[in-house]
Amino acid sequence: MRIEIFPEKCIGVGQCVVAAPDLFEQNEDDGIVYLVREDAPEDRRDAAIAAARLCPTLAIVVHDN
């Protein structure tokens, strides 16, 4: 699984960080999300998908490898 973020779409709501704090963090200056790791472990797949679904601007995409 690979996670892709589109920072230009992110508005800093932070639901992704709440859903998967081991995969996502927010920039302290502007709140824009960034990945802790691009290739997430398979056992975190459900959390990554939940984070993508919670994103109001669809700034997160989860790809199957």
| Radius of gyration of the CA atoms of the chain, in A | 10
- What is the mean pLDDT of the segment spanning 46-58? 96
Half-sphere exposure at residue 1, Cβ-oriented, CA atoms within 13 angstroms: 16
DSSP state of 32: -
Q: For the whole prediction, is pTM greater than 0.75?
A: yes
pLDDT of residue 26: 97
Query: At a CB cut-off of 8 Å and minimum separation 6, what does 50 contact?
Result: 19, 20
User: What is the arithmetic mean of pLDDT over 28-34?
Assistant: 96
**Structural domains in the chain, sorted by start:** 2-63 (3.30.70.20)
39 vs 9: CA distance, rounded Å: 21
Q: What is the mean pLDDT of residues 27-37?
A: 94
**What is the band of 63 on the pLDDT scale with cuts at 50, 70, 90?**
very high
For residue 3, pLDDT beyond 80: yes
**Per-residue confidence (pLDDT) for residue 37, from 0 to 100:** 82
- d(CA 15, CA 20) in angstroms, rounded, equals 9
